[in-house]
Amino acid sequence: MHIPDGLIPATVAAGGYVVAGALTAYSIKRINQSDNAQEQIPKVALLTAAFFITSLIHIPVPPTSIHPLLSGLMGALLGWFAMPAILIGLLLQAMIFGHGGITTLGVNAVILGIPAILAHFIFQTVNANSKMADIKEAAADKWGARKLQISGFLAGAIGVGISVLLFYGFIILTIPADIIDPAAERRATLILSLSHLPLLLVEGALTAMLVTYLSRVKPELLRGLSEARA
């Protein structure tokens, strides 16, 4: 799901940097407006490390393989921290493992960052009436637990789904006119994109289970539930 160097035009890659830079700058602005930004640093570092490591996990889905994206999970748990965390993780992946690219870093950050921000809004919207102090009690209630599970699943699944759509759109819309077989390129891109559909369900279920677990043992980690939605 990472676009490597040389696959898209330079103008698109440059545009990706502009959009990613704007999203990161706005995210940092929102973070600085938070009263507990410093308290979130350990959680952000932990999830950034988890996001970084997922590029090494390859799940065979014939005729290709996929790896977890975690865009929805990052958005649900990190809120506005997700965008800079994803940008840092992608940079390290490109520099250390050659996964993705430097010229396409901005585009890849957009592919994963925008869905993460949307997942943040989805998670907050479903839990709009929840208060941080009541999360643990709400999780013990049947409907409260169900609402957390639904919001977590939607955040995780939609995060992956939008990332796949953005990836597909970037590749299909930038196929060079002089390529030998554009039809084959489109088929290959479609197959790669469709192979991520099982991941949509897996990450949705994973996010749902994780937020439910955290609501019981560490509810303060579910930041944003008591904040007004941006």
Q: Categorise residue 70: left if φ over 0, alpha if ψ from -120 to 50, beta otherwise.
A: left
Instruction: Report pLDDT for 100.
Output: 86
User: Which sequence spans correspond to the domains of the chain?
Assistant: 10-221
Instruction: Go through 125-136 and write b for each residue having 16 or more CB atoms within 10 A of its CB, e for each that does not.
Output: ebbeebeeeebb
Torsion sign (Cα): 148, 223, 209, 193: positive
Q: What is the CATH number of domain 10-221?
A: 1.10.1760.20
CA distance linking residue 160 with residue 204, whole number of Å: 8
Q: Which SS3 state, helix, strand or coil, does residue 103 take?
A: coil
Q: Which SS3 state, helix, strand or coil, does residue 61 take?
A: strand
Backbone φ and ψ of 9, nearest 5°: -60, 155
Q: Strands 59-61, 64-66: parallel, antiparallel or unpaired by DSSP?
A: antiparallel
Torsion sign (Cα): 209, 212, 217, 219: positive
Report residues of the chain scoring pLDDT below 50: 132-133, 225-230
Instruction: Report pLDDT for 15.
Output: 96
Q: State how far the alpha carbon of 191 is from the alpha carbons of 93, 159, 202, in Å.
A: 24, 19, 18
Question: Would you call 28 exposed, middle or buried from its count of C-beta atoms within 10 A (0-12, 13-18, 19+)?
Answer: middle
Instruction: Report pLDDT for 230.
Output: 44
CA distance linking residue 204 with residue 211, whole number of Å: 11
Torsion sign (Cα): 16, 18, 19, 20: positive
